[in-house]
Amino acid sequence: MGHDITLTASDGFQLGGYRAEPASAAKGAIVVVQEIFGVNHHIRSVCDRVAAEGYVAVAPSIFDRVERNFQSGYSPDEIAIARKFVASPDWPAFMRDTQAAIDSIKGNGPIGITGFCLGGSVSFSAATDLSGLAAAVGYYGGAVVRFADKTPKVPTMLHFGEKDTGIPLSDVDTIRSKRPDVEIHVYPGAQHGFSCDERASYDKPSADLAWQRTFAFFAKHLR
């Protein structure tokens, strides 16, 4: 359903990505931001699912400034390698490359953004700092708590797993207290990565409910 693309950021850097088109006229467009595992098979399949919901989907390869076309699976060794990409994250670069993705899908109706893990944090930052968006949804973004003093410029929803060992519920409580304007859902028993059907932590009931909530949210705000 999708194909590889090239995006150009405001500083002239060219990065890769993946784009999927809906079968009929688009309801809008959604940027899908990767986990630390790159624009891999899972993120591409998410884009295809977004397109099946009726939206143009684009996933920017935000690690291309470090290693072009990095893609990873989920074995312990692969996870250890992928974590190196966020040891000293370049957030301004992530924002430039995400803005490039947003800009690339203008003209297809209102634009939303969603992302997972690292991408969940990028999605929240995009909601507070970038232009051209109408709504944002972040899944288990560990850095959101660090950015929670900033106010999103668009309606924002966040999903967290109750049993996420990397994001304590105290962090979620902090976000709730600082951001009463953000819709937050916590999934009982769910771990980090619960929405990825290629990970051992996949929790189908939680993933299905989060997806349903996400696209009800987009249907409400991307119009």
The residue type of 6 is T
Confirm if 49 and 98 have CB atoms less than 8 A apart.
no
164 is catalytic: yes
Which H or E element spans position 218? helix 204-221
Distances (CA, A) of 137 to 3, 21, 216: 24, 20, 11
Which of 192, 196, 203, 221 does the annotation list as catalytic? 192
Which of 64, 97, 164, 203 does the annotation list as catalytic? 164
192 is catalytic: yes
Confirm if 148 and 178 have CB atoms less than 8 A apart.
yes
Cα–Cα dist 222/216, whole Å: 10
Number of residues written out for the chain: 223
Residue 32, both tokens = 């899908």
Cα–Cα dist 6/58, whole Å: 11
Would you give the DSSP letter of residue 223?
-
Which of 42, 117, 171, 203 does the annotation list as catalytic? 117
Residue 206, both tokens = 């939680």
Task: List residues with catalytic annotation.
Answer: 117, 164, 192
